């Protein structure tokens, strides 16, 4: 497929071997994509090829295997940078979104926050974009403030100007909520934060997966995302940061590769991005993510987003007709990504997930590492069906059929 071509979902499904299996006597319907996506053959083949042919450490050898491994590793960095409209020198490999946020909290936060400074978060954040800031506040004496949610799972931006003060140093916000599917108006939030003199970190774990991303247009200072949610391997992620901020930050970890010179009593650091990549990196993971980015760019992210919007329109129409269902998140599809979180009557979300699994339908149940969201809507947990580029209306129908089985069991 080429960008702009018709989105052939059946051809795409054929690229993902894991989708072609049964659960018991039912064919698999995979609707747990917000937790992790399946991997296309193009990624699996690149991983095999790296380990079978090019396996060597990067940057440290002049032999042929090391040269090939280094070239593939740095080529993947260039691919990821192009995918988000960035310069490769601003792309840092991490283990995932969680490590990327912790890197900023430690390397930027410890040097730039003092007692009484403020960090503005939101009620909808994944724990990965809450707990690092709580730890930072405890260490520095900074104060945490929160932007709240309305009844439809949207940020109450009317209160943003009151929350931003001359002590606000950082605003951390998710691009897309993993628990509600809410697409946040990041550019509007960034503009308000900049006017107050704060920097902005965006948790893009669910954003880069579903939406075209250009970090220059977003205007934020840091953007973080994970490879495994966007057709790539586990254990690899990305921190993008503005060059001037990265240059000023101290290293997150010390060790090999991140140094320029080591003396008895001090060391000097390698240039960004290598300053933040201590030790032997996840070379295969980076190469695999590069292949995943190639795959997504070939489909084109606008086409992916369009397919998911059409699928969500169908899914919301079908699911709303189920008696006793309570859906969380925005009613408007313009404000919602490919997630439907719900409860159904008196059935516990874990029971819903168990029954659906028996019907071959994989969904997630729990608090989704977003306990503040659960508290906001007075529930302990929800069931969550999350869709991706390879899901179809037939998958939606199977979900609805499974929920009717839940109804029949719980009355």
Catalytic positions, written as ranges? 369
Q: What is the Cβ-side half-sphere exposure of residue 317, based on CA atoms within 13 angstroms? A: 8
Q: How far apart are CA 400 and CA 7, in angstroms?
A: 24
Q: How far apart are CA 355 and CA 277, in angstroms?
A: 44
Question: What crossing angle do the helices spanning 301-320 and 283-299 adopt, rounded to 10°?
Answer: 80
Q: How far apart are CA 33 and CA 87, in angstroms?
A: 29
Asked if 167 contacts 140 with a C-beta cutoff of 8 angstroms, the reply is: no
Nearest in space to 182 (alpha carbons), one of 225, 124, 101, 122: 124
Return the number of other C-beta atoms located less than 10 Å from residue 323's C-beta: 9
- Residue 264 region, left (φ>0) first, then alpha (ψ -120 to 50), else beta? alpha
- Residue 89 region, left (φ>0) first, then alpha (ψ -120 to 50), else beta? alpha
337 strand-pairing partners: none
Q: Name residue, tokens 């993008």.
A: 240
Q: How far apart are CA 245 and CA 314, in angstroms?
A: 44
């Amino acid at each position: 497929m080429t960008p702009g071509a018709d989105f052939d979902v059946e051809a795409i499904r054929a690229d993902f071997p894991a989708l072609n299996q049964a659960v018991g006597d039912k064919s698999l319907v995979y609707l747990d994509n917000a937790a992790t996506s399946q991997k296309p053959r193009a990624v699996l083949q690149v991983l095999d090829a790296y380990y079978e042919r090019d396996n060597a450490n990067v940057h440290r050898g002049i032999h042929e295997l090391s040269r090939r491994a280094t070239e593939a590793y740095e080529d993947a960095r260039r691919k990821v940078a192009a995918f988000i409209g960035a310069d490769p020198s601003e792309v840092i490999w991490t283990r995932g979104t969680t490590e990327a946020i912790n890197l900023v909290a430690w390397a930027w936060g410890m040097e730039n926050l003092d007692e009484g400074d403020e960090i503005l978060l939101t009620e909808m954040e994944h724990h990965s974009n809450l707990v690092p800031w709580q730890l930072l506040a405890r260490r520095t004496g900074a104060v945490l403030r929160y932007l709240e949610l309305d009844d439809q799972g949207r940020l109450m931006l009317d209160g943003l100007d009151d929350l931003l003060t001359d002590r606000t140093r950082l605003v951390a916000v998710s691009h897309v909520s993993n628990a509600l599917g809410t697409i946040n108006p990041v550019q509007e939030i960034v503009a308000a934060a900049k006017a107050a003199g704060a920097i902005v970190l965006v948790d893009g774990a669910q954003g880069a997966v579903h939406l075209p991303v250009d970090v220059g247009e977003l205007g934020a200072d840091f953007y973080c995302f994970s490879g495994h949610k966007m057709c790539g391997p586990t254990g690899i992620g990305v921190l993008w940061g503005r060059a001037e901020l990265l240059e000023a930050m101290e290293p997150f970890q010390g060790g090999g590769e991140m140094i320029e010179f080591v003396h008895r009593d001090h060391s000097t650091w390698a240039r960004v991005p290598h300053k933040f990549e201590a030790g032997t990196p996840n070379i295969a993971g980076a190469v695999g993510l590069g292949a995943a980015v190639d795959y997504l760019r070939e489909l084109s992210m606008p086409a992916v987003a369009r397919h998911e919007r059409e699928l969500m329109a169908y899914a919301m129409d079908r699911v709303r007709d189920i008696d006793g269902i309570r859906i969380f998140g925005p009613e408007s599809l313009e404000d919602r990504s490919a997630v439907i979180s719900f409860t159904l009557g008196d059935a516990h979300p874990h029971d819903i997930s168990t029954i659906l699994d028996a019907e071959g339908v994989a969904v997630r149940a729990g608090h989704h590492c977003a306990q503040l969201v659960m508290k906001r809507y007075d529930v302990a947990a929800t069931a969550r069906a999350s869709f991706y580029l390879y899901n179809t209306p037939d998958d939606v129908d199977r979900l609805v059929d499974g929920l009717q089985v839940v109804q029949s069991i719980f009355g």
